Amino acid sequence: MTKSKNLNVGLVGTQFMGRAHANAYLKVGRFFDLPLQPVMHTAAGRDPGRTQAFADRWGWANTTTRWQDMVESDAIDLIDICTPNNLHKDIALAALEAGKHVACEKPLSATLDEAREMRDAAKKAKRSSKAQTFVWFSYRGCPALALARQLVQDGKIGQVYHVRANYLQGWGGPATPLVWRFRKEFAGSGAHGDLNAHSIDAARFVTGEEITEVSGAIEETFIKQRELPGDEGGNIRGKGGAAKKKGKVTVDDTVMFLARFKGGAAASFEATRLAIGCQNENKLEVHGEKGAIRWNFEDMNVLWYYNAQGDAETNGWQRIMVTDADHHPFAHAWWPDAHILGYEHGFINLASTMFNQIGGGKLEVPMADFEDAYQTQRVLEAATLSARNRAPVKISEVK
Amino acid sequence: MTKSKNLNVGLVGTQFMGRAHANAYLKVGRFFDLPLQPVMHTAAGRDPGRTQAFADRWGWANTTTRWQDMVESDAIDLIDICTPNNLHKDIALAALEAGKHVACEKPLSATLDEAREMRDAAKKAKRSSKAQTFVWFSYRGCPALALARQLVQDGKIGQVYHVRANYLQGWGGPATPLVWRFRKEFAGSGAHGDLNAHSIDAARFVTGEEITEVSGAIEETFIKQRELPGDEGGNIRGKGGAAKKKGKVTVDDTVMFLARFKGGAAASFEATRLAIGCQNENKLEVHGEKGAIRWNFEDMNVLWYYNAQGDAETNGWQRIMVTDADHHPFAHAWWPDAHILGYEHGFINLASTMFNQIGGGKLEVPMADFEDAYQTQRVLEAATLSARNRAPVKISEVK
Amino acid sequence: MTKSKNLNVGLVGTQFMGRAHANAYLKVGRFFDLPLQPVMHTAAGRDPGRTQAFADRWGWANTTTRWQDMVESDAIDLIDICTPNNLHKDIALAALEAGKHVACEKPLSATLDEAREMRDAAKKAKRSSKAQTFVWFSYRGCPALALARQLVQDGKIGQVYHVRANYLQGWGGPATPLVWRFRKEFAGSGAHGDLNAHSIDAARFVTGEEITEVSGAIEETFIKQRELPGDEGGNIRGKGGAAKKKGKVTVDDTVMFLARFKGGAAASFEATRLAIGCQNENKLEVHGEKGAIRWNFEDMNVLWYYNAQGDAETNGWQRIMVTDADHHPFAHAWWPDAHILGYEHGFINLASTMFNQIGGGKLEVPMADFEDAYQTQRVLEAATLSARNRAPVKISEVK
Amino acid sequence: MTKSKNLNVGLVGTQFMGRAHANAYLKVGRFFDLPLQPVMHTAAGRDPGRTQAFADRWGWANTTTRWQDMVESDAIDLIDICTPNNLHKDIALAALEAGKHVACEKPLSATLDEAREMRDAAKKAKRSSKAQTFVWFSYRGCPALALARQLVQDGKIGQVYHVRANYLQGWGGPATPLVWRFRKEFAGSGAHGDLNAHSIDAARFVTGEEITEVSGAIEETFIKQRELPGDEGGNIRGKGGAAKKKGKVTVDDTVMFLARFKGGAAASFEATRLAIGCQNENKLEVHGEKGAIRWNFEDMNVLWYYNAQGDAETNGWQRIMVTDADHHPFAHAWWPDAHILGYEHGFINLASTMFNQIGGGKLEVPMADFEDAYQTQRVLEAATLSARNRAPVKISEVK
């Protein structure tokens, strides 16, 4: 194959998200017909041995412990950032400056200031080098959410009255040690940036509307001290190996907020790691004048839809199994009806979007770019401010 | 009020079903506009003290320990039989002979011979005295099943391919003592007459088709000996008070069978008291060329419907909350949408049918009469024969 | 029977709630063993003909168009108020003054000022005449919610982290006419007093904790004008018969708010009539350190419970069918396991509480008295203030 | 790497199953630590161009149009058969004869005679060349079914009373053309071998018990003629492109049967392509003396479990999200809790079993070998005989 057909990817970060993205690069070309072929060119990580092991396992051709190497290399076309949030900005700015396409895990950054810088750099790079930016709000790649967006765009929901987004996890009980996700210097925030970021993006993505105000908010850290993890490189949630010594939790366990959308919709958001009994309940509900939709990631292949104009005798919530190759987003790439997809397929589907966008193919859904992710970051910031200032916050005042 | 407006009821039996029927008579006139007013005239039971207590509690004006008194009394218009199955026939025949309307709990009788006699007596009485007969297949009174029937009649299901009826209870584990329901002399059969009777009736009621053959069957008594109950008059399922001595179980724990309907549909039926974890899962599923329906009594207000002609993009099983006063059977009589009904409402709704039928009012669904219940009894018998003879049995050969 | 065994009830109001309460008085003595027998003595309504028809249907011995007659009558022991909210106070105060027990529909009143007056009057009457007060937060009578409370009290939930209460109805779309529930002069508020009142009570009832702050709120009236109903006496939701002329809606369509409980729990509440697709989704979720519970009225017999201490291999949300006569509140009074209850049973169960409390019997759950309902009213008021002032409101400052 | 570390795979068949297996070989080494590394060595297919395209897409190093080439090549260690059922035997026998390990799609073969030959050849090869055999009953690789088996083995179910297996698909309506799956010469049978094969295997796998008798059966072809497909190489279910001309359907649309297990359990099986509204409802239920389990592939990550010894106050079906890395089969290889798996993961998990078994690693669950799959084939045959002979059939008599 010629260079014009390949796109060489450099990946920074080899933990949970590094693995999810590597899997996406491995598979996307097998299931989708793409204008460009992903090449797993270089993997970067801090620890040389672990980085090499990761590369061997996944088939990355090269490794480095300096992400700067990839920025400096002509061979790399796209840099994909899977580091802790506090490192997103420096890598992204350098990569954009070097004319690379940049993909970045969510949330865009640990602070709004960083997000603004990234957004500005992306805008500049787009003009100067046609570099494109992508943010991995992976749930956009779930066919059911993509269909939900389509139904809104087709007018099946009408004026939106209500949005309800709950992202409920329960792994953050008192027994969980102080892994990096509980430390502000690495994570920026707790459940808020981790989970509400997804919910805000999903709500904006599905409704096609911007949030204009956070009307009230609660931010809380119920568990204020946690045992230090015995080995920080362990399981992402620090299971096993906790030492006796405790350290201070510097991020939230939960952030809840009320909000308004541009079209007037009244919304509530809740992200928590203390919803005991819930594991990964990423839920979104939208009610409008003409219809409504409901989705829960734990049953991710199903979208519930209510058509207010349905025949009254038989009307009810419809359980749509979003796996019909002829009628549902992304389904053509996979298996027969109801041979269901899982978590990782969100990433693979979005990877198809990314390669199609760079290569000039047709998009089934748009991925967020830095501008788009910056809007989500403003809402995150507004919610934090609202909780701390105990007052509503207009998004237009958060920049 | 004048006699022409009232209908005097005599009830035989004061246990579980006696109570459910008494409640129906108490309430039906409050919720439905009826051409005849139910009068709770006389309650009959074996034990005078308990019968009087029952009457006091429910408002029966008179009591007797001889059901014959009611047959002989001019005051009684309708005799309602809630005794163990082995007593149905004698009471029904006497009452019909006396020109009374007769309502009877299901199954129609303990044996097919009795059922035939009852059917014949009903036919004769209908001609001679215009006496009407009714059998309490109470689930016909669940609005969701009534709607299911309506959808079939309206052609929304089309040719029926499959019927699947499971009535799963789990109370019959080894710790349950030998109450009358485990003894053939009182009950006639076990799960078969108790539960399959409901399922067969429901399947016939909803599809509007007769069963033509039992194609194979299993009858099993897993628990062959049970402790004798300490007090037979206790809880209907004999909780508490078991003595050490054991007695023989003379009915089935489960009967499962395969069947064919007249239109060709292939069907399966299962009734059991040993479906551990299930309490009262009375389920019916029908799949046809144009659509399908699903129902589970434990969520009795909901009917699931699939419209095979629905728009492919959004098609899926529809969760119909069958409580819309303007569009759903019986719903006009009750509460606002989704202010749900319970078990007892099946009886009350059927009571409205009964009084409307006797009084010349309009029926929302038909109750089974003795002829209709005899058809169900034939299927029960065919299944028993099929299990014992280890061969298919044509219904036409079971009379 | 002697007077000491009966309790004569006077009912004010003959619409939706009048009917639900009449049904409860009719049935409670049949299913529960009570220290006092309810006597349906007098029904009061504005229209003499309709009141008489109501009394005939339900078996009220007497009627009046002046509720004052009942206050003045020595024969009446308990006055039960089912009028629009704006009339609660005058009737309650007069009845208490006359030494009657008083039961009142929720919300306690249309305004907090009225609620305070009623609370004070109840306190005074309790001392002077031993009159008792009751407020019909009917969902306390749902066995599943009563069990939820029990689990919290038994320590199975531990410290509460989260409360999530959504009461979602969808009947208030633009086509629904301007019935009294949309007019402030009759209703006081819209979804807020109608639905959030239930949710606040339920959250307080189950957790046993008081709300200390409303942290932020949204109040919205999406549909600002509605067609005048053709006949105000029609269906409670004004279906059918709408005229062309429009009038102004003077209550909310939705009120959403965030709140804190005394023990620190972070909570969200949402009440709406514009959740298209939802009919009567009254939902409550509580997550604590040791366990969690979930409930949805539309499947009211089921309580979901998660035991954080469960065996990890098999742990998961448990679907409790709350119908076990030996282990679940109120279940002893009804039918065998999973022979489910419906909406009306909440009222009947609470009626048993009321008669037991007056008669000195044992309570399965407490009903709210005026003091208790006043606490709920304060939270309602705080949420309204929070929405209007765009600021958090301490409950301690709302009196 | 040395030869001892690699295992070279030759794949025969490039359609639906060819793709599912290729994906498994691609991924299994990335997610599991294996004693042998899968090498995608050669793909074989009838059409050279399509086979090459398949190989290019999936990364097979070589292609051939003669599967005999692989049998004859020393380079190939394992031959994996994904052809229509009628070709399984010839390929398997040749491969075993050549000392290759053999993996084969289910059902083992189109006829029982072929299955017996394959079983015998496998037995012989095992002795002579240590060749191993595997059959892809892919649902054994679903963690929830693997956990179900574990619960039975741990004694949590006790004596099994009931097994209920329904595999319901609805794609076979009258509009579906005559693809190979409707033709006996290619498929051997219809829903029976396609779907009941899975259910029989799953029931045997989970209970650990053999079926001893088919007690009765129904076999039916409702749609007797179908339009010839425009292009047989299209979509596996022939969507689109139907010509006008019709041909005869020579396989069943549905087979239902009743059965007994060795321990006495009474069972029902149903496979159909005419369960309108169902897409891929592969369901299994087992009730025993001590507990029960329920599973539905469409929500494949969840196992429902009922513990009959649970605390009565809170007991109920438990929804186990089978994704806990520390406690559930296969979960350690994948993502955090409730980051759910999909259809394809069943194959990948089983591939890990296969490579572990050949390489001497530890098995999480056993795959079926030819002996095991032959037992399933006997039950398939017995059901067919029972339906045709209209009589019960002992499995011991079917050889």
Taking the CA of residue A303 and the nearest CA in chain B, the distance in Å comes to: 9
**CA B60 from centroid of its chain's CA atoms:** 23
pLDDT at D243: 53
pLDDT at A395 over 70: yes
Question: Minimal CA–CA distance to B270: which of B361, B371, B191?
Answer: B191
pLDDT at D257: 98
Q: What percent of chain C has pLDDT over 90?
A: 92
pLDDT average, residue stretch B143-168 = 98
β-pairing verdict for D302-307 and B254-261: unpaired
Q: Which residue in the set A314, A316, A327 is minimally distant from B313, CB to CB?
A: A327
pLDDT tens per residue, range A142-172: 999 999 999 999 999 999 999 999 999 999 9
Taking the CA of residue D86 and the nearest CA in chain B, the distance in Å comes to: 28
Taking the CA of residue A377 and the nearest CA in chain C, the distance in Å comes to: 21
pLDDT tens per residue, range A78-127: 999 999 999 999 999 999 999 999 999 999 999 999 999 999 999 999 99
Total Cβ atoms within 10 A of residue B228? 15
D1 confidence band (pLDDT: 50, 70, 90): very low
Give the C-alpha separation, A303 to C176, whole Å: 28
Backbone dihedral region of C100: left (phi > 0), alpha (psi from -120 to 50 degrees) or beta?
A: beta
Q: Which residues of D touch C320 (CB under 8 A)?
A: 314-316
pLDDT at A234: 45
pLDDT at A239: 56
Q: Which residue in the set C150, C151, C321 is minimally distant from D316, CB to CB?
A: C321
pLDDT at B220: 98
Q: Which residues of B touch A314 (CB under 8 A)?
A: 151, 156, 305, 307, 318, 320
Q: What are phi and psi of C43, to 5 degrees?
A: -115, 135
Q: Which residues of C touch B301 (CB under 8 A)?
A: 298, 342
pLDDT at B9 over 60: yes
pLDDT at D141 over 80: yes
Taking the CA of residue A43 and the nearest CA in chain B, the distance in Å comes to: 40
pLDDT tens per residue, range B237-254: 655 554 568 999 999 999
Taking the CA of residue B391 and the nearest CA in chain D, the distance in Å comes to: 5
C229 confidence band (pLDDT: 50, 70, 90): confident
pLDDT average, residue stretch A175-195 = 93
What secondary structure does DSSP assign to C145-176, as a single string?
HHHHHHHHHTTSS-SEEEEEEEEE----STTS
Buried b (16+ CB within 10 A) or exposed e, B308-322: bebeebbbbbbbbbb
D236 confidence band (pLDDT: 50, 70, 90): low
pLDDT tens per residue, range B339-396: 999 999 999 999 999 999 999 999 999 999 999 999 999 999 999 999 999 999 999 9
Give the C-alpha separation, B144 to B163, whole Å: 16
Q: Say yes or no for a CB contact (<8 Å) between B164 and D166.
A: yes
Q: Which residues of B touch A306 (CB under 8 A)?
A: none
pLDDT average, residue stretch C31-50 = 97
pLDDT average, residue stretch B197-216 = 98
| Residue of A159, A167, A215, A305 best to disrupt the C interface, most CBs of C under 10 A | A215
pLDDT at B235: 52
pLDDT at B239: 56
pLDDT at A2: 38
Q: Reduce the DSSP state of residue D73 to 3 states and report it.
A: coil
Total Cβ atoms within 10 A of residue A312? 11
Instruction: Record the tokens describing residue B89, joined without a space.
Output: 């026939």
Write down the mean pLDDT value for chain B. 95
pLDDT at A180: 86
pLDDT at D229: 85
Buried b (16+ CB within 10 A) or exposed e, C309-318: ebeebbbbbb
Give the C-alpha separation, C252 to A241, whole Å: 53
pLDDT tens per residue, range A219-260: 999 999 999 987 544 455 655 554 578 999 999 999 999 999
Is the whole-model pTM more than 0.90?
yes
Q: What are phi and psi of B95, to 5 degrees?
A: -65, -40
D interface with A, Cβ–Cβ below 8 Å? 16, 20, 22-23, 26-27, 29-30, 57-58, 171, 235-237, 239, 279-281, 297-301, 321, 323, 325-326, 335-345
Buried b (16+ CB within 10 A) or exposed e, B283-305: bbbbbbbbbbbbbbbbbbbbbbb
Instruction: Record the tokens describing residue B176, joined without a space.
Output: 């349950």
Q: Reduce the DSSP state of residue A92 to 3 states and report it.
A: helix
pLDDT tens per residue, range D91-124: 999 999 999 999 999 999 999 999 999 999 999 9
Give the C-alpha separation, D39 to D22, whole Å: 11
pLDDT at B217 over 80: yes
pLDDT at D157 over 80: yes
Comparing D47-61, D207-221, D239-253, which segment has the lowest mean pLDDT?
D239-253
> CA distances (Å), B10 to each of B14, B58, B112, D11, in order?
11, 13, 26, 77
pLDDT tens per residue, range B19-53: 999 999 999 999 999 999 999 999 999 999 999 99
Domains of chain A: 3-136 (3.40.50.720), 159-288+370-389 (3.30.360.10)
pLDDT at D235: 52
Report yes or no: A268 and A258 within 8 Å, Cβ to Cβ. yes
B186 confidence band (pLDDT: 50, 70, 90): confident
D interface with B, Cβ–Cβ below 8 Å? 161-162, 164, 166, 170, 173-174, 215-218, 220, 222, 253-254, 256-258, 260, 264, 266, 268, 270, 272, 274-278, 287-292, 306, 308, 317, 386, 390-392
Buried b (16+ CB within 10 A) or exposed e, C51-85: bbebbeebebebbbeebeebbebeebbbbbbbbbb
Total Cβ atoms within 10 A of residue D399? 10
pLDDT tens per residue, range B264-278: 999 999 999 999 999
Q: Reduce the DSSP state of residue D215 to 3 states and report it.
A: strand
pLDDT at A243: 53
pLDDT at D234: 45
Closest B-chain CA to C323: B279
Write down the mean pLDDT value for chain C. 95
Cis amide bond preceding B177, omega within 30: no
**CA B306 from centroid of its chain's CA atoms:** 27
pLDDT tens per residue, range D4-61: 489 999 999 999 999 999 999 999 999 999 999 999 999 999 999 999 999 999 999 9
Dump strand ranges (E) for chain D.
Answer: 6-12, 37-44, 62-64, 78-81, 101-105, 133-136, 160-168, 211-220, 225-229, 242-248, 254-261, 266-272, 281-288, 291-296, 302-307, 317-321, 393-394
pLDDT at C238 over 70: no
pLDDT at B187: 86
